[in-house]
Amino acid sequence: MFVYADESGHSGRYIFNEPRYYFQGAILSVIDPESLLHPIAEKYRNELGVDRIHASEIKPHIVERIGAAFLSLLKDIKWTFHLTVIEKPYLSVTKFVDTVFDSFENKGARWLWYNHEFFRHVLCCLFDQVLSDQMKKDFWDAYLKDDRQSIMSVIKIALKKLSELPIDARLYQVSKDALDFALKYPDEITLMASMTKKSYKGHTPNMVAFSSMIQAVHKFCKDHGVVPQAFIHDPQSEFGSTMQEYHTLLARLRLKHSKSGMLLDAESPDYDLGKFSLTPSEQLTSLQAVDIFLWLSQRGEKVKSEGLKQALRDRTEPFCISRKSSEMQVYAWLFRLSTTELSPKQIESGKEIIKKMEKTHFKKLKEFESKIESS
């Protein structure tokens, strides 16, 4: 298979700068689409008098026409357009939850609330409300600097604001316990974003999206019984070397999706991710096609052709990180739970499991505190 990728809305560490959303797109194809796309692209390049097709430099109706032509040429081959959309400021919230509620480090955090998809998204939605815009900025800045003192200052304010919200009692208790522990034992929280000059990069929208794309490549390989031959990304001055490192590091790490909603397991595939290269879009029509598809995806309802929108939607596999996507995950799980029939025996069994988990939680917390006091 072949991978062609590009991005839009570059941000790096500056997640609070406009545009609000970061997009990364990739054509994942069983065969190399370059020879299919080149003739029609060459036709439009000649008509427009340009060296490359770049959507932002072309009139919208022409972009739609080129997009429709590209999709038509690709209709008979096996391919997917993987699209990652990240609401950049929301990354600060997800990092806050990851930092404070990691139950492997924070003994005050409940294991289930960190390791189950539903509960993690509930926490993300809650703290998107708890943290003001300034608190999100302060946390993000402190997080990238590994500034523990400033992080604790944000947590302290969050704890106070949490007590002022009319929320579910259990949600409040779970959140309060985790925040209390973090404030009492701040050194238990691992911070590594400033370990090296480029450690911060792994936390940026660019590399979060790149990691999701690699998992999409693994999924595509598994679904179609293929292995990567070439992995091509438009040049990156800030992230090029880090992409190369991630390409090598994550080649042998395929996440297994869990229907139960628990954190995913990993397995090691018996292939690598093909040759990685950073190639200017002027040299490859497939990268120009990615640019067109990204532009169309960003414009959404502004695209006039309903047929074009649907054709691209049918080929798109989206991955989103945003407040809205967290809410959708929460609603989906609530619907799933509300429509699942449980017998009285199953309900009682669930209650017993929760009791045992709480008992284990407090036992481990007590053991930890006793160990700290005796040392």
Residues 321 and 350 in one domain: no
- Residue 250, in any domain of the structure: yes
Query: Is 159 part of any domain?
Result: no
262 DSSP assignment: B
Helices 90-100 & 323-338, crossing angle to 10 degrees? Answer: 60
Buried-state track 136-171, b at ≥16 Cβ within 10 A, e below 16: bbbbbbbbbebbeeebbbbbebbbeebeeeeeeeeb
Give the strand pairing for 2-8 and 265-267.
Answer: unpaired
**If 0-12 CB within 10 Å is exposed, 13-18 middle and 19+ buried, where does residue 209 land?**
buried
Do residue 206 and residue 81 come from a single domain?
A: yes
178 assigned to some structural domain: no
For residues 291 and 351, membership in a common domain is answered with: no
Q: Which residues contact 373 (CB under 8 A, 6 or more apart)?
A: none
Angle at the Cα of 142 from the Cα atoms of 140 and 173, rounded to 5 degrees:
75
Q: Assess if residue 134 is contained within a domain.
A: no
Number of neighbouring beta carbons within 10 Å of residue 78 = 14
Mark whether 213 and 84 lie in a shared domain: yes
27: left (phi over 0), alpha (psi -120 to 50) or beta: beta
User: Which pLDDT score is estimated for 116?
Assistant: 92
Q: Which residues, at least 6 apart from 314, have a Cβ–Cβ distance to it below 8 Å?
A: none
Does residue 362 sit in the same domain as residue 295? Answer: no
C-alpha to C-alpha distance for 175 and 253, rounded to whole angstroms: 32
First to last CA, the chain: 56
Q: Is residue 241 part of a domain?
A: yes
Same domain, 219 and 301: yes
* Cis before 19 (ω within 30): yes
Residue 86, beta-bridge partner list: 22, 321
- Range of the structural domain that residue 254 is part of: 2-88+202-325
Tell me whether residue 279 is in a domain.
Answer: yes
Q: Which pLDDT score is estimated for 375?
A: 76
Rounded Cα gap, residues 362 and 95, in angstroms: 25
Looking at the structure, tell me whether residues 208 and 82 fall in a common domain. yes
Residues 359 and 306 in one domain: no
Within a domain: 98: no
Name which of 329, 328, 326, 318 is nearest 85 in CA terms.
318
Q: Is residue 370 situated within a structural domain?
A: yes
pLDDT cut 70: percent of the chain above it: 98
Say yes or no: 351 and 247 in one domain. Answer: no
Question: How many angstroms separate the CA atoms of 113 and 171, rounded?
Answer: 10
Show the low-confidence residues of the chain (pLDDT under 70).
257-264
pLDDT for the residue numbered 263: 60
User: Are both 209 and 281 inside the same structural domain?
Assistant: yes
Query: Is-contact 239 203, C-beta < 8 A?
Result: no
Domain tally, the chain:
2
Q: What is the DSSP letter of 172?
A: H
Q: Are residues 320 and 209 in the same domain?
A: yes
**What is this structure's pTM?**
0.93
356 and 304 part of one domain? no
pLDDT score recorded for residue 266: 79
Residue whose tokens read 């994942």: 28
CATH number at residue 55: 3.30.420
DSSP labels, 99-120:
HH--TTT-TTS-HHHHHBHHHH
Q: Which residues of 245-278 are buried (b: 16+ CB within 10 A; e: fewer)?
A: bbbeebbeebbeeeeeeeeeeeeeeeeebbebee
Instruction: Let me know: does 210 contact 12? Beta carbons within 8 Å.
Output: no
Cα(177)–Cα(182) distance, integer angstroms: 9
